[in-house]
């Protein structure tokens, strides 16, 4: 259950990363980078934050990583997934930061940093599987349940307000939401279990 369009750019034969004549990125290449970076930015930051001692350090390195990713984007291998590549670039920036402030900070050793990086990537993959499974499970809801979920969560209203908007007794809405949540949780677990075992 992979999202082929979100984890890596389209095939290189149809979507070059840059303008080979001028060496500058094409508009399509810029759009690809922005889309992928926006999707994975929080996960890259989570990795950086896990291996650096302070939030300020993590924010500084994230900024440097963002710049480095853009500079290296034109040479990005489209056969690779974006997140591991981005975390690899972040890892280099973390090491540079460590060297720069080696006498002023206490840092994790290299092996622990690698273990943390692998764990962040693994958790990211699981979160992505859950997200994809939830979308599929939501599509299977009947119209009334889907409408209730959209009112409550998509509209950001309370269950009581959703009941008023739908003209339903609050008690039935609370029970329905509890039933829907249980059903969605079971559905998501069933869908991702084979992926996790594989």
Q: Where exactly are the structural domains of the chain?
A: 1-132, 140-198
Q: How would you class 198 by CB atoms within 10 Å of its CB: exposed for 0-12, middle for 13-18, buried for 19 or more?
A: exposed
Q: Is-same-fold flag (1-132; 140-198)?
A: no
Overall fold of domain 1-132: Rna Polymerase Sigma Factor; Chain: A (1.10.1740)
Task: Quote the CA–CA distance of 40 and 125 in Å, as a whole number.
Answer: 11
Three-state secondary structure call for residue 36: helix
Region of 80 please: left (phi>0), alpha (psi -120 to 50) or beta. Answer: beta
Look up the CATH number of domain 140-198.
1.10.10
What are the pLDDT tens digits along the chain (198 aa)? Answer: 444 444 544 443 334 444 434 455 677 888 899 999 998 898 888 888 877 767 888 899 999 999 999 999 989 988 888 988 998 899 889 888 888 876 555 455 566 666 666 666 666 666 677 777 888 888 888 988 888 888 887 777 888 888 888 888 999 999 999 999 899 888 888 887 776 555
Q: How would you class 39 by CB atoms within 10 Å of its CB: exposed for 0-12, middle for 13-18, buried for 19 or more?
A: middle
Long-range contacts: 165-174, Cβ < 8 Å, 24+?
Answer: 173/148
User: 3-state DSSP: the chain helix, strand, coil percent, rounded to 5?
Assistant: 75, 0, 25
Its pTM stands at 0.49
């Amino acid at each position: 259950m992979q999202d082929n369009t979100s984890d890596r750019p389209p095939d290189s034969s149809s979507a070059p990363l840059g303008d080979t004549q001028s060496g500058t990125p094409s508009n399509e290449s810029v759009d690809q980078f922005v889309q992928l970076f926006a999707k994975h930015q929080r996960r890259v930051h989570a990795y950086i934050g896990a291996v650096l001692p302070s939030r300020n350090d993590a924010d500084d390195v994230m900024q440097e990583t963002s710049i480095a990713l853009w500079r290296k984007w034109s040479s990005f291998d489209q056969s690779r997934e974006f997140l591991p590549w981005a975390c690899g670039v972040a890892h280099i920036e973390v090491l540079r930061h460590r060297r720069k402030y080696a006498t002023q900070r206490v840092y994790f050793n290299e092996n622990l940093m690698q273990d943390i990086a692998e764990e962040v990537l693994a958790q990211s993959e699981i979160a992505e599987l859950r997200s994809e499974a939830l979308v599929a499970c939501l599509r299977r809801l009947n119209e009334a349940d889907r409408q209730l979920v959209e009112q409550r969560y998509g509209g950001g209203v309370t269950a009581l307000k959703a009941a008023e908007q739908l003209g339903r007794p609050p008690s039935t809405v609370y029970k329905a939401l509890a039933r829907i949540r249980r059903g969605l949780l079971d559905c998501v677990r069933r869908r991702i279990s084979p992926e996790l075992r594989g």
